[in-house]
Amino acid sequence: MANHTDPKKQCSIQPDTLAMYQKARQEGVETVWERAQAQEPQCGFCSLGLSCRNCVMGPCRLDPFGEGPQRGVCGADADIIVARNLARMIAAGAASHSDHGRDLVETLLAVAEGHAPGYQLTDLAKLDRIAAEYGIPADLPPQAKAKELALAMMAEFGIHKGHLTFAKRLPAARLAIWDRLGIAPRGIDREVVETMHRTHMGVDNDPVNILLHALRTSLSDGWGGSMIATEVSDILFGTPSPVASQVNLGVLKTDEVNIILHGHNPLVSEMIYRSSQDPALTGRAQELGAKGINLVGLCCTGNEVLMRKGIPMAGNHLVQELALLTGAVEAMVVDYQCIMPSVGQVSTCYHTHLITTSPKAKFPHAQHLEFTPENALERGREVVKMAVENFADRKPERVLIPVAPVNQVSGFSVEAILGALGGTSAPLLDAIKAGQLRGAVGVVGCNNPKICQDLGHTTITRKLIEHDILVLDTGCTAVANAKAGFKDPGAAALAGPGLKAICEALKIPPVLHMGSCVDNTRIMHLAAALANALGVDVDKLPVAASAPEWYSEKAAAIASYAVASGIYTVLGVTPPVLGSRMVTDLLLNGLKGVVGACFAVEPDPEKAAGLLIRHVESQRQALGLDSRL
Ligand code: BF8
Ligand code: SF4
């Protein structure tokens, strides 16, 4: 298999993945790993960012060895082509998060106007806090306040004047840097559209100018679209607080109707959750011989319902096909993003219904049941009913649920973390100042078949907590770390003595799950709050970020807004930029002098952990705190 890090020349460190991969081989079902192998050798031009198909004078590709063409037909050189490609990648990621945010805002408006019968305003205190940030009068009743808020947020997607509202959570020094560079995000959609414009042939041909706008586009995601998605989800479905649950494919049940919720947006999954509690449907499941209805999550929709409802998590990105291979899934319900087109084909090998729900995301071999704010409650019932009736078609002889589940505690929103600390960030800062806690690192992002599944996430996380660094995780990392047992409060024993004592006192694990990938904005919000409390800009904090196994354009946007917000970020997979020395140097070095942070790329997770630890310690030293450098 391609590029697997020695000595673990296998596709995963996880027993459930390995067992199901074996079953896939026995049953002749193709998975992501065979397809990855079939792509070898992958295109060298594309890997270096040196191919362009932005117009039909091309496609063009430049010779990295300097012998063949050094310019595309239009005259674009390597620096221009690489910068344009990276900018488009970031724009696609920002668009995905932000369009997800928009769907939530539209639902918030529908709730406020009274035509979204399944939904409600769940966290009114949060509605009050967010509305206050938007300058909406405090004395409005909740429905009217929600309507004003939805309209104000919608305006931020378009031509907005001044800073995005949530960017004001940052220290003034950070906003001043953005203003000076001209990268303060304006309207959320506007920056994405402008990236597409600038990267059209014959528009922006200054690679630095292109990349600065790419950063601005990422910021419109991090402090705009994604942050709106997180905050509106909390208003509609509740702000997460610590909740016990379980993780891995062992959460599927041999004697229950299993429904997998996969994708990213909680709008659909919350309605399925409600219907799964309906006595008429659970009764029907029992008539058919099932003990009940078992909802489980996958990927970020899974993180959303885990954080708020404690619904168990079946797995991360590379588990999506394998979950169907258990033969125990009556329905996989998907919304959008990171859902491999292959799941339709795999579902046809079993009795599983693949159900698509968004007009934006239709799949081969799927049944489409479209959800809208108006019909979602009724649709949720329909979907659960379909799954229940499908239990009769399960073939018990084909079922394999390979492992027992692992316990985890999830639900660490910013509110929950500060709540556990008595309402302020002061105890956290005191622990950092005293050196008991060295700092905090966000370990986030995807799986990628180029990397042994979860090896990067878990190796880095383990090293960091051993070094008394608190780990905050989201997305697919969160699943990897939970499966490794790092989210059981007992995992405090794996931490260094300082972090261990804190975890034991607060009864929390050393790795705090902060949610889905749009919830990386919770990490940003916490970083901004710490910087404000300390009276410094974010780039001075003893914090860092890491995306050890990233694959997605969304991850490129996240990493970019982290860096542009002042957070040093270590990537485990090389982005397609090495074809331009100038772009590579800007990302790895030059940005430091511009936004106070830069990227690093380190495929070896042990060494990546070393980089992160060194960064945290050197930040401590610069702050005048004790340092283990
Ligand atoms: O948004 S971590 S593989 S599931 S992109 Fe996708 Fe990556 Fe997983 Fe969530 Ni995020
Ligand atoms: Fe080739 Fe330029 Fe067209 Fe790209 S934009 S495909 S480099 S001619």
Quick: pLDDT tens for 519-561: 999 999 999 999 999 999 999 999 999 999 999 999 999 999 9
* Strands (E) located in 353-458: 353-356, 367-368, 406-410, 439-443
What is the model's pLDDT at position 3? 42
Number of residues that this document lists for the chain: 629
- For ligand 1, the distance from its centroid to the CA atom of residue 447, given in whole angstroms, is 8
d(CA 429, CA 425): 6
Question: Which residue CA neighbors atom 2 of ligand 2 most closely?
Answer: 74
240 lines ligand 1 (CB under 6 A): no
Characterize 195-216 residue by residue with b for buried, 16 or more Cβ atoms within 10 angstroms of its Cβ, and e for exposed.
bbebbebeebbebeebbbbbbb
d(CA 53, CA 250): 45
Q: Which two tokens stand for residue 521?
A: 């904005």
CB atoms within 10 A of CB 511: 32
Residue in 525, 505, 506, 504 with CA at minimum distance from that of residue 514: 525
- For ligand 1, the distance from its centroid to the CA atom of residue 477, given in whole angstroms, is 9
What is the model's pLDDT at position 1? 37
CB atoms within 10 A of CB 403: 17
Atom from ligand 1 closest to the CA of residue 474: 2
476 lines ligand 1 (CB under 6 A): yes
Which residues lie closer than 8 Å to 100 by C-beta, 6 or more apart? 225, 226, 229, 264, 265, 336, 337, 518
Atom from ligand 1 closest to the CA of residue 550: 7
Q: What is the DSSP letter of 515?
A: E
d(CA 559, CA 444): 9
Q: Provide φ and ψ at 173, rounded to 5°.
A: -60, -35
Residue among 81, 200, 204 to mutate when testing ligand 2 (max atoms within 8 A of CB): 81
Q: What is the residue-averaged pLDDT of the chain?
A: 97
Question: Which residue CA neighbors atom 1 of ligand 1 most closely?
Answer: 517
- For ligand 2, the distance from its centroid to the CA atom of residue 517, given in whole angstroms, is 33
Q: Which two tokens stand for residue 508?
A: 């929390």
Atom from ligand 2 closest to the CA of residue 60: 1
Q: Which two tokens stand for residue 390?
A: 């499908």
d(CA 325, CA 401): 9
- For ligand 2, the distance from its centroid to the CA atom of residue 185, given in whole angstroms, is 28
Residue among 45, 50, 51, 54 to mutate when testing ligand 2 (max atoms within 8 A of CB): 54
60 lines ligand 2 (CB under 6 A): yes
Ligand nearest to the CA of 88: 2
Q: For tokens 């936004």, what's the residue?
A: 595
Atom from ligand 2 closest to the CA of residue 201: 5
300 lines ligand 1 (CB under 6 A): yes
Question: Which residue CA neighbors atom 3 of ligand 2 most closely?
Answer: 55
Are 297 and 311 in contact, with CB atoms under 8 Å apart?
Answer: yes
d(CA 185, CA 171): 16
Question: Which residue CA neighbors atom 4 of ligand 1 most closely?
Answer: 299
- For ligand 1, the distance from its centroid to the CA atom of residue 311, given in whole angstroms, is 18
Which residues lie closer than 8 Å to 71 by C-beta, 6 or more apart? 62, 77
Are 49 and 577 in contact, with CB atoms under 8 Å apart?
Answer: yes
What is the model's pLDDT at position 79? 98
554 lines ligand 1 (CB under 6 A): yes
262 lines ligand 1 (CB under 6 A): no
Q: Which two tokens stand for residue 441?
A: 């690192």
- What pLDDT, in 10s, does the model give residues 143-162? 999 999 999 999 999 977 78
Is the backbone peptide bond immediately before 7 cis, with ω within 30 degrees of 0? yes
Ligand nearest to the CA of 52: 2
What is the model's pLDDT at position 345? 98
- For ligand 1, the distance from its centroid to the CA atom of residue 164, given in whole angstroms, is 25
- For ligand 2, the distance from its centroid to the CA atom of residue 71, given in whole angstroms, is 9
CB atoms within 10 A of CB 270: 24
Q: Which two tokens stand for residue 70?
A: 């050094």
76 lines ligand 2 (CB under 6 A): yes
- For ligand 2, the distance from its centroid to the CA atom of residue 54, given in whole angstroms, is 6
Residue in 35, 12, 83 with CA at minimum distance from that of residue 581: 83
Is the backbone peptide bond immediately before 69 cis, with ω within 30 degrees of 0? no
Question: Which residue CA neighbors atom 7 of ligand 1 most closely?
Answer: 446
Q: Burial of 37 by CB count in 10 Å (0-12 exposed, 13-18 middle, 19+ buried)?
A: exposed
DSSP assignment string, 448-468: -TTS-BTHHHHHHHHHHHHTT
- For ligand 1, the distance from its centroid to the CA atom of residue 497, given in whole angstroms, is 32
Q: Which two tokens stand for residue 201?
A: 């042939």
Question: Which residue CA neighbors atom 6 of ligand 1 most closely?
Answer: 338
Amino acid sitting at position 238: G
What is the model's pLDDT at position 241? 98
246 lines ligand 2 (CB under 6 A): no
Which residues lie closer than 8 Å to 90 by C-beta, 6 or more apart? 195, 214, 217, 218, 553, 556, 557, 560
Residue among 260, 299, 301, 307 to mutate when testing ligand 1 (max atoms within 8 A of CB): 299
CB atoms within 10 A of CB 121: 16
58 lines ligand 2 (CB under 6 A): yes
Ligand nearest to the CA of 202: 2
H-assigned helices in 134-260:
142-157, 172-181, 188-198, 207-220, 226-237
- For ligand 2, the distance from its centroid to the CA atom of residue 57, given in whole angstroms, is 6
Are 123 and 234 in contact, with CB atoms under 8 Å apart?
Answer: yes
Which residues in the chain show pLDDT less than 50?
1-8
Q: Is 90 helix (H, G, I), strand (E, B) or coil?
A: helix
Are 517 and 545 in contact, with CB atoms under 8 Å apart?
Answer: no
Ligand nearest to the CA of 302: 1
| pTM, rounded to two decimals | 0.97
464 lines ligand 1 (CB under 6 A): no
Atom from ligand 2 closest to the CA of residue 72: 7
